[in-house]
């Protein structure tokens, strides 16, 4: 039986606080857009007309409303499962089969993962084939979508086995010190994944080839040489087979480090703009942003593992949610559920760090190519193509945005360019 006590009340209060904060931020963001969304920011006047602006507004409102609905449904299901006594019943069934604790744990989280994945399918279908189609982004087919689903499911199963079998084994064999060893182990797996992702996982979904345009490749080579990088790490990806959204990113570790340019970006931007976008990504590379972000995450994770360890040894946690036995896998799940709203309130810290790195990478562009004019131009074009929100609410930005808001960022780049003496 679920016990209504101080722990449950505290959890529900925190859970509600997170849900209301999320809802309030989305509402404020949409309200802000409704009030200011009819004005094209000064810096965008040459690129964006009234009709595009209206489409940007509609797309932002529609996609953020849909996202809110999905989160609301997720929250409702989580509470229903937690308070409805489903989990104690489920773990009771698993325990009646007398499996080794490691396999019992794998079965428990494996089935929960499968259910959550199935629940996500209708949302993914609607977002891909209704919203993204309506605004002319989605180019995928149902067949490709299904293949992606099967592949990502297979990858998840392999990764979960790789992560959780050793994890449950550590809990079983090192009941006092597992949290520290697990922290080291998970950090190692994360490093391994950052290294492997561009080599093994990303190629399962897309083709990565050297940039095809000869003249552009020459310029890329020259710039990479100037920055002291190997140009073998610069790729073009066939992202356009799924969506018209355009982008570029930096990923990898050691020899697998690479910058990836979407074919959609290459098709719609001038060489000067592409070089500027690339210079920004080279900035992330040279300034070691991936590793710095990982280090910050590991510091938080260290505290997180210790808290989870302490929570898992606390009988009241189990009793509150209707469990009669202290099983590691149920303890792990309950600790994760309990920490979920707390982790949500850490979102602004990660976002602020990421925005700082974005500014650093923008500054790097000026040093490498002597001008930020073309980056500003590329960002304007990207904003238009991706129907970005040009009027986000400042609180929403502070909480969620991994990049500075576009109007602010473009203005800053233009100011940097005009005050820079080559
Ligand atoms: Zn960036």
Which parts of the chain have pLDDT scores under 50? none
Give the pLDDT of residue 169: 97
What is the token pair recorded at 322?
């209707």
**Angle, CA 32 vertex, CA 28 and CA 37 arms, to 5°:** 150
CB 14 within 8 A of CB 342: yes
* Cβ-proximal residues to 313 (8 Å cutoff; 6+ apart), any chain: 326, 331
Given the residues 132, 236, 273, 281, select the one marked as catalytic. 281
Say how many Å lie between the CA of residue 192 and the centre of ligand 1.
22
User: What is the percentage of the chain residues whose pLDDT exceeds 90?
Assistant: 87
Q: Which helix (H) or strand (E) holds 208?
A: strand 208-210
Give the pLDDT of residue 417: 86
Determine the 3-state secondary structure of 209 from DSSP: strand
Say how many Å lie between the CA of residue 358 and the centre of ligand 1.
5
Give the pLDDT of residue 82: 94
Given the residues 132, 263, 362, 385, select the one marked as catalytic. 362
CA distance 407 to 390: 6
281 is catalytic: yes
* 115-172 per-position pLDDT tens digit: 999 999 999 999 999 999 999 999 999 999 999 999 999 999 999 999 999 999 999 9
Say how many Å lie between the CA of residue 284 and the centre of ligand 1.
7
Place of tokens 């710095």: 292
Say how many Å lie between the CA of residue 347 and the centre of ligand 1.
18
CA distance 264 to 276: 16
CA distance 128 to 377: 29
Say how many Å lie between the CA of residue 406 and the centre of ligand 1.
12
The separation between CA 8 and the C-alpha centre of its own chain, rounded to angstroms, equals 30
Say how many Å lie between the CA of residue 404 and the centre of ligand 1.
10
Total count of residues recorded for the chain? 422
**Angle, CA 351 vertex, CA 348 and CA 353 arms, to 5°:** 110
Give the pLDDT of residue 46: 87
Say how many Å lie between the CA of residue 386 and the centre of ligand 1.
16
Give the pLDDT of residue 422: 57
* 167-202 per-position pLDDT tens digit: 999 999 999 999 999 999 999 999 999 999 999 999
Give the pLDDT of residue 37: 86
Give the pLDDT of residue 253: 86
Rg (CA), the chain: 24
What is the token pair recorded at 396?
């929403």
Give the pLDDT of residue 421: 63
CA distance 18 to 305: 22
Residues with CB under 5 A from ligand 1 (ion): 358, 361
């Amino acid at each position: 039986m679920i016990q209504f006590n101080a722990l449950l009340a505290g959890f529900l209060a925190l859970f509600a606080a997170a849900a209301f904060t999320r809802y309030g931020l989305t509402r404020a963001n949409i309200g802000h857009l409704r009030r200011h969304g009819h004005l094209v920011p000064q810096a965008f006047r040459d690129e964006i007309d009234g009709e595009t602006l209206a489409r940007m507004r509609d797309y932002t409102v529609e996609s953020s409303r849909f996202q809110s609905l999905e989160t609301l449904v997720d929250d409702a299901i989580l509470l229903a499962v937690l308070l409805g006594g489903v989990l104690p019943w489920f773990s009771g069934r698993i325990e009646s089969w007398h499996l080794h604790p490691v396999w019992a744990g794998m079965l428990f989280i494996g089935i929960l993962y499968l259910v959550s994945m199935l629940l996500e399918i209708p949302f993914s279908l609607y977002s891909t084939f209704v919203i993204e189609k309506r605004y002319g982004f989605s180019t995928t087919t149902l067949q490709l979508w299904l293949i992606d689903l099967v592949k990502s499911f297979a990858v998840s199963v392999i990764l979960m086995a790789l992560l959780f079998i050793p994890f449950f084994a550590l809990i079983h064999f090192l009941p006092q010190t597992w949290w520290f060893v697990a922290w080291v182990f998970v950090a190692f797996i994360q490093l391994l994944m950052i290294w492997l992702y561009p080599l093994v996982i990303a190629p399962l979904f897309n083709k990565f080839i050297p940039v095809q345009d000869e003249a552009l490749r020459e310029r890329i080579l020259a710039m990479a040489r100037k920055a002291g990088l190997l140009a073998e790490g610069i790729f073009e990806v066939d992202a356009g087979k799924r969506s018209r959204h355009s982008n570029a990113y930096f990923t990898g570790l050691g020899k697998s480090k690479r910058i990836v340019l979407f074919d959609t970006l290459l098709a719609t931007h001038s060489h000067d703009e592409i070089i500027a976008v690339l210079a920004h990504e080279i900035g992330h590379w040279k300034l070691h942003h991936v590793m710095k972000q990982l280090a910050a995450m590991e510091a938080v994770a260290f505290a997180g593992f210790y808290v989870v360890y302490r929570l898992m040894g606390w009988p009241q946690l189990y009793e509150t949610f209707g469990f009669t036995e202290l099983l590691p896998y149920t303890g792990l799940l309950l600790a994760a559920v309990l920490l979920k709203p707390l982790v949500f309130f850490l979102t602004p810290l990660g976002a602020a760090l990421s925005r700082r790195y974005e500014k650093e990478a923008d500054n790097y562009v000026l040093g490498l190519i002597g001008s930020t004019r073309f980056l500003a131009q590329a960002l304007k074009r990207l904003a238009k193509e991706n129907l970005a929100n040009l009027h986000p609410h400042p609180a929403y930005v502070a909480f969620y945005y991994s990049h500075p808001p576009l109007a602010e960022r473009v203005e800053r780049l233009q100011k940097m360019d005009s005050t820079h003496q080559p």
